Structure 1
């Protein structure tokens, strides 16, 4: 069955179609939630809430992007909402006043594995980690990231640049200076 047919059946509240879409996307979306939450129980909760929201709002899905991309944005937003809800206190810096030069060089030493980069990313402060993760892992651009995180594009670019700098420092410390 074609995905668009499945989505249309879901719009008609067809439970079998909803179950089929759930089975098709649950594993991948669980991985997305885990990249943010790092806890399987929390990721499972967010995953369930995301699918409930997706099925409740499925009439808003217009097919401008794939269903998977639309659902992924819901999962990311729900993950970030979950993290925000767990925070007791949040201090925000006004980074809009800073001017940052773009630096598109994301190269690291060939000796550094993807697992090491991922581990180093988990050591970044949250405000940098989410921007770096959305940019590098999820493939969003500055405009999309700024919408998802409710930041200005300037703040997004600033946090990406700072996060990249901290990520490189973490990798250098781990490899004793073999990073670029």
Structure 2
């Protein structure tokens, strides 16, 4: 982490509002982009701002074991998930269901499909699959972290990812057929 960021964090821990504004300016664009992965623009802006507020209120808890950006990202994502939960998105625990092992490393997409088309396809998934898929594929969280963030079992996270992946392939099938003609 840069010396400038470290200095700003120390100043924020002392309650310096200008330092908070500087950190906000440095990270707001990236945090807004992340929030937009989960919410529409208006909701994303609100969730991002709430995330910053929570971060500044809890900055004394920040330890440099993670980058400030990673710590803030987790807060913003949690805020987005809280907003989605307010909309009563269903995340069903499937502890008693059996599931096939899924090869989580097999996320290769045809070169003809753009990243934006993949993200659009993820956005078409049912929200419970969409969340797990975004947290895993786009944010890089593992199942233990997803389990903690969403308040679901690790097994549920794995199953929802597998189901999301299967639906994602079906959604992307027309893109493959279109690209081959």
TM-score, structure 1 as length reference: 0.91
* Equivalent residue runs for 1:4-153 within 5 Å: 4-37=6-39, 39-87=40-88, 90-97=89-96, 98-103=98-103, 104-153=105-154
Q: Decide whether the 8 Å contact of 1:61 with 1:70 is kept in 2.
A: yes
User: Deviating runs (4+, > 6 A) in structure 1?
Assistant: none
Measure, in 2, the Cα distance between the counterparts of 1:159 and 1:73.
20
How far 1:92 moved relative to its partner? 4.6
Change (3 A) 1:61 1:114: same
User: Alpha-carbon deviations, 1:41-77, whole Å to 9, x = none?
Assistant: 1111111111111100001111110111000001000
Gaps of 5+ in 2: none
Change (3 A) 1:67 1:111: same
How far 1:176 moved relative to its partner? 3.2
How far 1:134 moved relative to its partner? 0.8
Alignment match, 2:176: 175
Alignment match, 1:158: 159
User: Alpha-carbon deviations, 1:142-162, whole Å to 9, x = none?
Assistant: 111111111111111111111
Measure, in 2, the Cα distance between the counterparts of 1:7 and 1:36.
27
Gaps of 5+ in 1: none
What number of residue pairs does the alignment pair up? 176
SS at match of 2:107: coil
Q: What RMSD, in angstroms, separates the aligned Cα atoms of the two structures? A: 1.7
Change (3 A) 1:171 1:74: same
Q: Decide whether the 8 Å contact of 1:100 with 1:157 is kept in 2.
A: no
TM-score, structure 2 as length reference: 0.91
Measure, in 1, the Cα distance between the counterparts of 2:32 and 2:45.
7
How far 1:40 moved relative to its partner? 1.4
Measure, in 2, the Cα distance between the counterparts of 1:93 and 1:142.
16
